[in-house]
Homo-oligomer: A and B are copies of this chain.
Amino acid sequence: MTMRSEALTMTKDGRLSAMKARFFGPTARQKLLAFASLVLLLIFFSFASPVFMQIDNILGILQSTAVNGVLAIACTFVIITGGIDLSVGTLMTFCAVMAGVFLTYWELPMWIGVVAAIATGALSGVVSGTLIAKMKIPPFIATLGMMMLLKGLSLVVSGTRPIYFNNTENFPMISQDSLIGLALPNLPIPNAVLILFALAALASVVLNRTALGRYTFALGSNEEAVRLSGVNVDRWKIAIYGLGGSICGVAGLLIASRLNSAQPALGQGYELEAIAAVVIGGTSLSGGAGTILGTIIGAFIMSVLTNGLRILSVAQEWQTVVTGVIIILAVYADILRRRKV
């Protein structure tokens, strides 16, 4: 059983990455080296615990990566511009709460809730972007302020209690059911994971093949030069933060669907995890460089690490210590790799 599922996972991973390599732009091959840390972790935990590579646990890891992965994708755009977004966690929550308001309080159809969550995210992103682009407030502070603002608003709007999606029967499906499982009953990969990968592919296309992506890199490289080239820098910046916000809306839907509720107090602290995933994935905090594939790998490094330490029943305080050390080492590995290449 263990052997079979192990093999299964490996080929899946192999195929996936091959697809991604073709998909995620020309520097992808080089970036695949970022797998090294991930593979090392996987190997270590497989040897350390027979449970780790079992299909159930792998599915658990995949599921637990979804939310952080999506948030990390949102952060990737912003970080490539040389900015930062500390509000992603609480924005996710606020979007979930807004979905709850539309679906549970107002009893509207599910698709409206989905649209509302994403629109809320986009709107909040546009506000952050405007603060940054028009009012010249440093991204760190603008999004820190937004983080607090949204945290408060989530509590206000929800009346400080969770909103349950009892009226919307299909809501949990968004994240928990498995479309793949219908076709391959042995591989009930939850939809959340599909959404993560679909979003990653989409984000990769946007980043590498559209004007928005081009300006994302350009702004991070030299904003003044872009401005002097006659590009409407402010508008693009706002658009990028808006895009990031709408991706947070997707994260909000995923987490709400997974918990079948909007938990208004949740969210703070998630931003650091997302940013860590982005940087572990090789995106530079000083802007101008980064890939979605790297981010996804970074998110997996984080969740594999967390899961593995749990599986080994490492004492929780030591888990924190180890996670801190591994984050540093993973980024260091990435730095060494780039120095060599």
Contacts and interface: CB of A to CB of B under 8 A. Distances in A.
Contacts of A17: none
Contacts of A318: 152, 156
B156 A321 contact: yes
Interface string A283-320: 01110000000000000000000000000000011111
A324 interface: yes
Nearest to A268: B269
A67 interface: no
A327 interface: yes
Nearest to A328: B145
A137 B335 CA distance: 8
Contact of A324 (B146, B160, B335): B146
Given A136-B335, A156-B318, A327 B151 contact: no
Contact of A149 (B155, B284, B324): B324
Nearest to A150: B324
A48 to B, nearest CB: 19
B319 A144 contact: no
A153 B321 contact: yes
A331 B148 contact: no
A165 B118 CA distance: 51
Contacts of A136: 335
Given A136-B335, A335-B135, A141 B321 contact: no
A292 B142 CA distance: 22
A320 B151 contact: yes
A251 interface: no
A280 to B, nearest CB: 8
Contacts of A286: 138
A254 interface: no
A105 interface: no
Interface in A152-167: 152-153, 155-156, 160
Given A156-B321, A324-B146, A279 B138 contact: yes
A331 B275 contact: no
Contacts of A327: 141, 144-145, 148
A324 B143 CA distance: 9
Contacts of A319: 152
A88 interface: no
Contacts of A275: 140, 144
A2 interface: no
Contacts of A279: 138, 140-141
A36 B327 CA distance: 41
A190 to B, nearest CB: 28
A131 interface: yes
A23 interface: no
B160 A331 contact: no
A156 B321 CA distance: 9
A101 to B, nearest CB: 15
A332 B135 contact: yes
Contact of A317 (B137, B156, B325): B156
A219 interface: no
8 contacts: A135-B335, A141-B285, A144-B276, A145-B328, A148-B327, A152-B317, A155-B316, A156-B321
The 3 A-B residue pairs with the shortest CB-CB distance in the complex, in nearest-first order: A148-B324, A152-B321, A152-B320
